[in-house]
Structure 1
Amino acid sequence: MIGAEKRRQLAPVRRPIDLDLRPVGFVLGLLLLIVAGFMLVCLVVDLIAQDGNARGFAAALLVTVFVAVNLILMTRFGSVQADIDRRQAFLLTASVWVTLCLFAALPFWLSSVDVSFTDSVFESMSGLTTTGATIMVGLDTAPSGLLLWRAMLNWLGGIGIVVLGIAILPMLSVGGMQIFRTESSDQSEKVLPRVAQIASATGVVYVSFTAVCAMLYIAGGMSTFDAICHAMTTLSAGGFANYDASFALFQNPTIEWTGTVFMIAAAMPFVLYIRFLRGDRQSVLRDSQVRWFFGILLTLWTIGATWLILHDGIPASVALRQTAFNMTSVLTGTGFATYDYTLWGPFLTTVIFFAMFCGGCSGSATGGIKMFRFAVLAAVVRSQAQRLIHPHGVFVPLINRRPVPDNVALSVMGFFFLFLLTFAIATVALSFMGLGFVTAASAAAAALANVGPGLGEMIGPAGNFKPLPDPAKWILTFVMLLGRLEIFTIVVLFTPRFWRN
């Protein structure tokens, strides 16, 4: 028998965790200062509007600035020149969304509107992840600063996920995103300089599109304040509206078609806009995920409009407009609505349910599974079918006329499995809390795909998430985070190997 001393010698050595958190804390402090700057804008708006809500924003602003400054001061030494490695990037990605969500909840919690802490966190997570599911009622009479704050959360989350999808996730090889690494991300571990370059370019496009969208909304008949708020929530595919009735309040074809166009723009890869501006005019047409997106979108438009015309007898122009706006809103995960589409009948409701999962393109502001994964999966299935027909042939799955690496195909299939598993677990958990199957399944799908409204009377486009029990809201808050950060980014943090040296 081996003695105790010998067993101690053979036992693996447990080294302490060697993870420098200073760069993570430093970046968090800087981002909190940016959030505080947006809080200041909303505070000024509330003071001008005299809505009686300025005190809550002032308190939230002071707390956020205090924590941000202390984080920067405690972590500034050795963090400015430090490069963020893969482990720090994983940790930073998750901690940014969680930390910003908690501080973004303060204006709701401390506002003059009666919002609980659970509801505040749910609303802020929904805003920053651009999900658009809301617990707020009485939006028509809500303080102006709070409405602007909701729009700003969508807008900040939208640009954040664009930069994340273009620069960070490809470097981390999350869910097959490494297929875009050679095109949009630096292959070294020096993440921050590359992110800064990409952020500046995408930021210009993002701001420009938002401004154009706002001007067109104003030209269509919106007030300036409504136009600014809705432009921010349109380009971010966030879906927070200033009214309980969402876009149905306006009943304006010009506004609806403007929203449809810019929701589509939000679903395109922002890196393609940059290439287009640099002279690559064919990049959009060559991208397979763009073709997949428009193929699915036009199919949904055709199915919806045809059904409404033939089955419900709706005039063609009205059917096309309603279908185009609401189907685009669901597919892109924006969450706006001009009509309670659950009243269209079980067939279109079923189509809408499955459309929730799709999402837009990678590197866009949208959520969902993403079109490039469908393109990769279709290429792999096509290749496998060809191998079955010709066992001795060599068939390589292609996307954008380039071979799909094996690790990308495995990552995509792994993502599909985790996505469906998460959806199933969330649905069962919500059903355990007494929610009906339609409500539980659609809530899980809406949160995981960052869509916003679910189905049914309670959480459908004419409903609200406020009636849900608090434990259900916390589950959906976590599911929204999982969906926005592509699941793997969070799951990795719960593996022991990540924390080992």
Structure 2
Amino acid sequence: MLNFRPVLLVTGALVTALGVTMLIPMIADLLSQDEVHRADWSAFAVGAAAAILIGSGAAAASWGRIDDLGIREGFMLTAASWLALTLFAAIPLALGGLHLSYVDAFFEAMSGITTTGSTVVSGLDDAPPGALLWRSMLQWFGGVGVIIMAFAVLPALKVGGMQIFKNEAWDTSEKFIANAAQYSLGLSGIYGFFTVLCFLCLWGFGMTPFDAVNHALTAVSTGGFSTKDSSIGAFLTVGRGPIDLVVTVFMIIGSLPFGIFLAAITRGAWKRLFTDSQIRFFAGIVAFLTIVIMIEVYEVYAHLGLFTAFRMAIFNVVSILTGTGYATTDYDDWGAFAIAFFFCIMFIGGCAGSTSCGMKVFRFQVALSAIVVYAKRLAHPSGVFVARYNQRPLTDEIYVSVLSFFFVYFATFATLAVILAGLGLDTLTAISSAGTAIANVGPGLGDIVGPAGNFAPLPDAAKIAMSIGMMLGRLEFFTVLVLLSPAFWRG
């Protein structure tokens, strides 16, 4: 029988903690020099009160020692906590100076906490500081949550082949909650260190402290929310330092497996940063895709020089590949090839155990190894061939899990695209919106939802459908879809 008490307890505690963090943007508004922005503090005060009262009430009602948390409770907790946090995170956005409806606020909060980066907000340059900071904080929370989930929850739940990482930082089991608590502090510490380092670098290269804080929070989390309508492009003025290259470095860091950072620090395994097959495969993809699009960019902007073409290429490749969604320019202007190119690479993603989105490169490695082994068996029917990942043999269970993930991923994408088209979106907008939601990327393609636009013109039903797509994509699909199975509730 399902034990709802620990699910309610942990979810209530997380909602309470979220309410406490709302005091930070509230203080930012109170310190604002603009009287209109200063008045926005009340939205966060109401949101904090609601989250703290309801969250603490739920936690108190289910208070007690949690001896273990089984697989089924793990599925429930993962989906319930992310949905509850989004529902409460939307409250100050709906009540504040951004003047959003609750549907728009929910979309924005879901985009934030899933580190998608799609937005319905325009006029960011003049938005209240509290709202800007809250959007960035949501992405930072989502990033660290994804890291802990990737190492503590998904391997134990055997979702999408993630069981291949069960010994990455610790040995997961049916009772994984103790291990999650044991290592989450270390992972969070590393995540926080890179965030502070990013802030110092951005500040040192000319950003104001406020802009540097926001972009540090959203770069390491590969979230992509900015304080400017023109995103990182607003900071690439004459006389500024190479802020785009700094952001590129930290987007890449956020896309690397944090478990390996933890192993390097705790076990001295620094060589794994250079020998891990997933990291090397990801680095190869970044290098190859950068060269491909750099050639295209150079043909369009030859007068700016090869180095500028490289900067534009690597920034936008890393931004879309990792699901961050920052922009320095409208790449829709680069031609049909660039549009198709960025649409395709948005599905790839970074490394497992990182903050990045997409399908994760290890799944492509597993799929390629399956293809190679199958080809060898066709050529040599009597031969014995074993595929390996990081020198470890791959089992049939992992193959089935990964290939099932591919099928569900693209089936969900196709379904969402059809739903959006049925709601009145044109073909390009519907397909790219579905892709950016499922892959948690941020900007889509075209004049409406492309890098120069946003998602505000979409109907409310489309925003709700995309919000569901964001959550499915971020929680690796099966974590949510398994809850729809009658067998799950029968035990």
Q: 3-state DSSP class of the match of 1:29?
A: helix
- Match for residue 14 of structure 1? none
- Match for residue 324 of structure 1? 314
Aligned match for 1:359, one of 349, 363, 376: 349
Aligned match for 2:428, one of 416, 429, 438: 438
- Match for residue 256 of structure 1? 244
- Match for residue 9 of structure 1? none
The one-letter amino acid of 1:26's match is: L
The one-letter amino acid of 2:412's match is: T
Between the aligned partners of 1:160 and 1:193, the Cα distance in structure 2 is 16
Deviant stretches of 4+, over 6 Å: none
Aligned match for 2:333, one of 326, 334, 343: 343
Cα deviations by residue, 1:389-421 (Å, 9 ceiling, x for unpaired):
111111111111211111000000000000010
- Match for residue 57 of structure 1? 44
CA contact (8 A) 2:152 2:172 kept: no
Aligned match for 2:154, one of 164, 169, 184: 169
Q: Could you tell me how far 1:131 is from its partner in structure 2?
A: 0.2
Aligned match for 1:107, one of 83, 86, 92: 92
Within the alignment, does 1:292 sit opposite 2:277 as a pair?
no
Q: How does 1:43-442 map to 2 (within 5 A)?
A: 43-49=26-32, 50=35, 51=37, 52-77=39-64, 80-251=65-236, 252-277=240-265, 278-313=267-302, 314-442=304-432
Aligned match for 1:40, one of 23, 43, 51: 23
Q: 3-state DSSP class of the match of 2:242?
A: helix
How many residues in Structure 1 have an aligned counterpart in Structure 2?
A: 482
CA contact (8 A) 1:22 1:75 kept: yes
Between the aligned partners of 2:299 and 2:437, the Cα distance in structure 1 is 33
Between the aligned partners of 2:315 and 2:242, the Cα distance in structure 1 is 11
Q: Could you tell me how far 1:253 is from its partner in structure 2?
A: 4.8
Q: Could you tell me how far 1:186 is from its partner in structure 2?
A: 3.1
Cα deviations by residue, 1:337-356 (Å, 9 ceiling, x for unpaired):
00001111111211111000
Q: Could you tell me how far 1:121 is from its partner in structure 2?
A: 0.4
Stretches of structure 2 lacking an aligned partner (at least 5 in a row): none
The one-letter amino acid of 1:288's match is: S
Between the aligned partners of 2:57 and 2:173, the Cα distance in structure 1 is 31
- Match for residue 24 of structure 1? 7
CA contact (8 A) 1:171 1:185 kept: no
- Match for residue 7 of structure 1? none
Q: 3-state DSSP class of the match of 1:182?
A: coil
The one-letter amino acid of 1:469's match is: P
Between the aligned partners of 2:186 and 2:173, the Cα distance in structure 1 is 20
Q: Could you tell me how far 1:189 is from its partner in structure 2?
A: 2.3
Between the aligned partners of 2:173 and 2:452, the Cα distance in structure 1 is 48
Q: Could you tell me how far 1:279 is from its partner in structure 2?
A: 0.9
CA contact (8 A) 2:71 2:174 kept: yes
RMSD: 1.1
- Match for residue 4 of structure 1? none
Q: Could you tell me how far 1:190 is from its partner in structure 2?
A: 2.2
The one-letter amino acid of 2:489's match is: W
CA contact (8 A) 2:97 2:127 kept: no
Identity of aligned residues (%): 43
Between the aligned partners of 1:254 and 1:29, the Cα distance in structure 2 is 43
The one-letter amino acid of 1:222's match is: M
The one-letter amino acid of 1:168's match is: V
Q: 3-state DSSP class of the match of 1:206?
A: helix
Between the aligned partners of 2:8 and 2:420, the Cα distance in structure 1 is 34
| Pair 1:290–1:208, CA change in 2 (3 A) | same
Between the aligned partners of 1:151 and 1:187, the Cα distance in structure 2 is 31
Between the aligned partners of 2:411 and 2:195, the Cα distance in structure 1 is 36
Between the aligned partners of 1:446 and 1:67, the Cα distance in structure 2 is 33
- Match for residue 497 of structure 1? 487
CA contact (8 A) 1:23 1:82 kept: no
- Match for residue 445 of structure 2? 455
CA contact (8 A) 1:47 1:54 kept: yes
Between the aligned partners of 2:338 and 2:120, the Cα distance in structure 1 is 26
Q: Could you tell me how far 1:311 is from its partner in structure 2?
A: 5.0
CA contact (8 A) 1:132 1:238 kept: yes
Between the aligned partners of 2:28 and 2:277, the Cα distance in structure 1 is 44
| Pair 1:306–1:396, CA change in 2 (3 A) | same
Between the aligned partners of 1:445 and 1:81, the Cα distance in structure 2 is 39
Q: Could you tell me how far 1:423 is from its partner in structure 2?
A: 0.7
CA contact (8 A) 1:253 1:321 kept: no
Q: Could you tell me how far 1:487 is from its partner in structure 2?
A: 0.4
Between the aligned partners of 1:141 and 1:320, the Cα distance in structure 2 is 32
- Match for residue 3 of structure 1? none
CA contact (8 A) 1:454 1:460 kept: yes
Q: Could you tell me how far 1:296 is from its partner in structure 2?
A: 1.1
Cα deviations by residue, 1:53-94 (Å, 9 ceiling, x for unpaired):
0111111111111101101110003xx233111010000000
Q: Could you tell me how far 1:212 is from its partner in structure 2?
A: 0.4
Between the aligned partners of 2:258 and 2:151, the Cα distance in structure 1 is 8
Between the aligned partners of 1:158 and 1:34, the Cα distance in structure 2 is 16
The one-letter amino acid of 2:294's match is: A
CA contact (8 A) 2:300 2:334 kept: no
Between the aligned partners of 2:172 and 2:448, the Cα distance in structure 1 is 47
Q: 3-state DSSP class of the match of 2:167?
A: helix
Which deviates the most, 406-415 or 276-285?
A: 276-285
Structure index of larger Rg: 1
Q: Could you tell me how far 1:312 is from its partner in structure 2?
A: 4.2
Q: Could you tell me how far 1:185 is from its partner in structure 2?
A: 4.1
Cα deviations by residue, 1:410-452 (Å, 9 ceiling, x for unpaired):
0000000000100111111111112111111111110101000
Between the aligned partners of 2:350 and 2:173, the Cα distance in structure 1 is 28
Which deviates the most, 284-293 or 389-398?
A: 284-293
Q: 3-state DSSP class of the match of 2:273?
A: helix
Between the aligned partners of 1:185 and 1:368, the Cα distance in structure 2 is 24
